[in-house]
Structure 1
Amino acid sequence: MSISTDYYNILSHFTDEQILIREATKEWVNKHVRPVIEEYSQKGQTPTHLIKELAEIGAFGLIIPEKYGGMGTDYIAYGLMMQELEKGDTSVRVCSSIQTSLVMYSIWKFGSEDQKKRYLPKLATGEYLAAFGLTEPNHGSNPSAMHSYFKINDNKILLNGCKMWIGNASKADIAIVWAKNEQNQVQGIIIETNKIENFTTSKIENKWSFRASNTGELIFSDTVVSRNQVLEKSNSIKDAYECLNVGRYAIAWGSLGIAMDCYETALQYSKERIQFNNPIGSYQLIQKKLAEMITEITKAQLLCYQLGVLMNEGKASYQQISMAKRNNVQMASQIAREARQILGGMGITSEYSIMRHMMNLETLITYQGTHEMHLLITGKDVTGFSAFA
């Protein structure tokens, strides 16, 4: 964190390794992402040339053990990397998080030793790009009601179903697809997309948000897959949720990065923009906005740091992760709007990152669990009563 956003000196709690990873990621973003991301976002294109470079900085599999190609670092270091990547753009952080939090974590936690050795090193180097297929067209907030299913026939399985709003869908070399078996248990399946038939994919065009991210569908129609592609340790929708928890943890840190970037932009602009013969930062209402921004950022930093401590100790509950995701995305959304107002008309131009961040936040507020669903998770946790239908 720069001096302008580390109001409570949280930096003093980080290890040398955590700081090194944060600084290296920040430097990489400034050099490779910021100069090109506005153009890619405006055109609705994905900067695919950054995929290999993400792998080179360890953004694929940072928390996965070294024996499988990862770096074996802790969750706070991972959170700091997500923070800095999303300062650049959500699409870059999402690419890293899908690969690490969802796909590599799925294989590492629920796969066989053979699956780990076969796939994780290639995912870590970026040789394989991956997707995570859980959400369906009619089942977003309630994935346990999914219609995707598979039947076992000797050493093969027959897979049917459709997955929607899937990151990397049309470019993925492999996908983790969650479907129900004949006992109605949800299991993960490793799909090698270029080695199967009766499979189609498409890219969702004309998005106003996540514009630099590849999003699409995965469609299976009597798709034949080897039985040994099933994640052998998975047997419940809770296993998919466990992977989502790591993804939501990444969002909590990433959205914090957005808030920091918007605040830093607005603060600098307030010192340079002259109106009525004075910098606008000298006026009370602008100072009110900035004071409230840094306060909310500081609270979110403390939330992320303590959550990271709990993650490292294996003590973080999904309810705690849910709270951080919900709070930080909402906080970042408010800060982005306030920052845009401070910049006035300039705030809507691509000269600054704020409007792009605002559009991405409109997806993040429903991504991997809507704001309302996360509210109800906390509500159930504190009252003991479920308000879900």
Structure 2
Amino acid sequence: MLDFLWQGYGCPGLSILSHALVGAEIARVDASCCTFALVHSSLCMSTIGMLGNEEQKQKYLPSLARFDTIGCWALTEPAYGSDASSLNTTAVKVEGGWLLNGQKRWIGNATFADIVVVFARNTQTNQINGFIVKKGTPGYRATKIENKIGLRIVQNGDIIMKDVFIPDEDRLTGINSFQDTNKVLAVSRIMVAWLPIGVCMGVYDICYRYLQERKQFGAPLAALQINQEKLVRMLGNIQAMFLLGWKLCKMYESGKMTPGQASLCKAWNTLRARETVALGRELLGGNGILSDFLVAKAFCDIEPIYTYEGTYDINTLVTGREITGIASIKPSASGKIKGFTASQK
């Protein structure tokens, strides 16, 4: 359970379902604002709360909970996205701490975050460890990625680290392998699965009002049968997405949620969201491509949501491995693809 995030350390004490509902309502207005908050809370704060020691929780979580400090989470690298466990960033043990060297990419909030949770490979153990890097640390540099088509408010960044010294007290002692990192990813996918629900609710709101107000052929657009069918399909998708998200939260609260179930919800909800926002764009006709009506913005915003926190394809493979017991494919050293079992992972 993520009690640390909703109880104590200055946090309000909400359940994960309440937290998800708040996120969906923010996304209903703006997906970028919701993404900013999720990077800050569901990734950065969750990692410190789940995998940090008591001293680290007391030191960092209260100010993060108040938004006095902003956090981000750096796992993905230029060469390793879906295959994040193969990351190249290194952590070398030195007297009193660690030296980090490497690059990260697509890191939300990176350009202005006060603290960054960075994942690096321990050169002594070859395992993934986690570190808290403070803004302004010598050797750390973050630059904004330009020309995104979606989530444009979110400042995704490229991070370069050259001999960045991290004191021992800022090594997250609960991260000793990539399996520890997966504990955070599984939970954050719950929250990300609710983000497209909020986006689609916002699109539905706009389309409903638009069809009632705009007239063609002497009647409101809402009077056309084909428009009613599209509106009903949008509403059906939203309700199905909501119920799947609700079930996932209840499974988590009862301790029965699995990574495959979290991946299924994230993959399926974002797939349905793509269909829903596309229907909304159609309903607005030419106005559907204008950012003034916000449906076009949502149409673009859903694309990065479909991809981040595990692409649709990767999440389906996570779930497929769980239900069959067989991992689908693994590249060999020669570059050829061969089948392999879960025990060979």
Fold match (TM-score > 0.5)? yes
Which residue of the partner structure matches residue 207 of structure 2? 266
Q: Deviations over 1:90-136 (max 9, x none)?
A: 21111111111111111111111110100001111112111100000
* Structure 2 Cα separation of the partners of residues 192 and 386 of structure 1: 38
Question: What does 1:127-146 align with in structure 2 at a 5 Å threshold?
Answer: 127-146=68-87
Q: Verify the 8 A CA contact 1:128 1:173 in the aligned structure 2.
A: yes
Q: Deviations over 1:6-46 (max 9, x none)?
A: xxxxxxxxxxxxxxxxxxxxxxxxxxxxxxxxxxxxxxxxx
Question: What does 1:162-241 align with in structure 2 at a 5 Å threshold?
Answer: 162-181=103-122, 182-194=124-136, 196-241=137-182
Pairwise CA distance, 1:162: 0.7
Q: Deviations over 1:25-73 (max 9, x none)?
A: xxxxxxxxxxxxxxxxxxxxxxxxxxxxxxxxxxxx9961433111121
* Structure 2 Cα separation of the partners of residues 305 and 232 of structure 1: 32
1:300 and 2:241 equivalent? yes
Q: Verify the 8 A CA contact 1:376 1:388 in the aligned structure 2.
A: no
Q: Verify the 8 A CA contact 1:163 1:217 in the aligned structure 2.
A: yes
Question: What does 1:327-346 align with in structure 2 at a 5 Å threshold?
Answer: 327-346=268-287
* Structure 1 Cα separation of the partners of residues 327 and 196 of structure 2: 28
* Structure 2 Cα separation of the partners of residues 162 and 325 of structure 1: 27
* Structure 1 Cα separation of the partners of residues 183 and 37 of structure 2: 18
Which residue of the partner structure matches residue 334 of structure 2? none
Which residue of the partner structure matches residue 341 of structure 2? none
Q: Which amino acid aligns with 1:368?
A: E
| Equivalent in 301, 304, 310 of residue 369 of structure 1 | 310
Pairwise CA distance, 1:350: 2.5
* Structure 2 Cα separation of the partners of residues 127 and 276 of structure 1: 55
* Structure 2 Cα separation of the partners of residues 379 and 323 of structure 1: 9
Which residue of the partner structure matches residue 289 of structure 2? 348
Pairwise CA distance, 1:378: 2.0
126-135 or 278-287, larger mean C-alpha shift: 278-287
Q: Which amino acid aligns with 2:21?
A: L
Q: Which amino acid aligns with 1:311?
A: Y
* Structure 2 Cα separation of the partners of residues 238 and 289 of structure 1: 42
| Equivalent in 32, 43, 59 of residue 118 of structure 1 | 59
User: What are the ranges of 5 or more consecutive residues in structure 2 without an aligned counterpart?
Assistant: 331-345
Q: Which amino acid aligns with 1:190?
A: I
* Structure 1 Cα separation of the partners of residues 55 and 3 of structure 2: 20
Pairwise CA distance, 1:173: 0.7
Q: Verify the 8 A CA contact 2:4 2:50 in the aligned structure 1.
A: no
* Structure 2 Cα separation of the partners of residues 382 and 314 of structure 1: 18
Which residue of the partner structure matches residue 340 of structure 2? none
Q: Verify the 8 A CA contact 2:108 2:156 in the aligned structure 1.
A: yes
Pairwise CA distance, 1:154: 2.3
Q: Verify the 8 A CA contact 1:289 1:338 in the aligned structure 2.
A: yes
Alignment CA distance shift 1:386-1:319 (3 Å): same
SS for the counterpart of 1:365 is helix
User: What are the ranges of 5 or more consecutive residues in structure 1 without an aligned counterpart?
Assistant: 1-60
Q: Verify the 8 A CA contact 2:4 2:49 in the aligned structure 1.
A: no
290-299 or 376-385, larger mean C-alpha shift: 376-385
* Structure 1 Cα separation of the partners of residues 43 and 163 of structure 2: 25
Alignment CA distance shift 1:62-1:345 (3 Å): farther
* Structure 2 Cα separation of the partners of residues 296 and 154 of structure 1: 56
SS for the counterpart of 2:77 is coil
Q: Which amino acid aligns with 1:183?
A: T
TM-score with structure 2 length normalisation?
0.92
Q: Which amino acid aligns with 1:340?
A: R
* Structure 2 Cα separation of the partners of residues 239 and 388 of structure 1: 23
* Structure 2 Cα separation of the partners of residues 274 and 198 of structure 1: 60
| Equivalent in 15, 19, 29 of residue 74 of structure 1 | 15
SS for the counterpart of 1:224 is strand
Q: Which amino acid aligns with 1:319?
A: G
Q: Deviations over 1:329-363 (max 9, x none)?
A: 11111111111111111122232211111111111
1:248 and 2:189 equivalent? yes
Provide the alpha-carbon RMSD of the alignment. Answer: 1.5
Q: Verify the 8 A CA contact 1:63 1:75 in the aligned structure 2.
A: no
130-139 or 297-306, larger mean C-alpha shift: 297-306
1:149 and 2:110 equivalent? no
Q: Which amino acid aligns with 2:134?
A: E
Q: Verify the 8 A CA contact 1:62 1:100 in the aligned structure 2.
A: no
Provide runs of 4+ in structure 1 moved above 4 Å: none
Alignment CA distance shift 1:328-1:65 (3 Å): closer
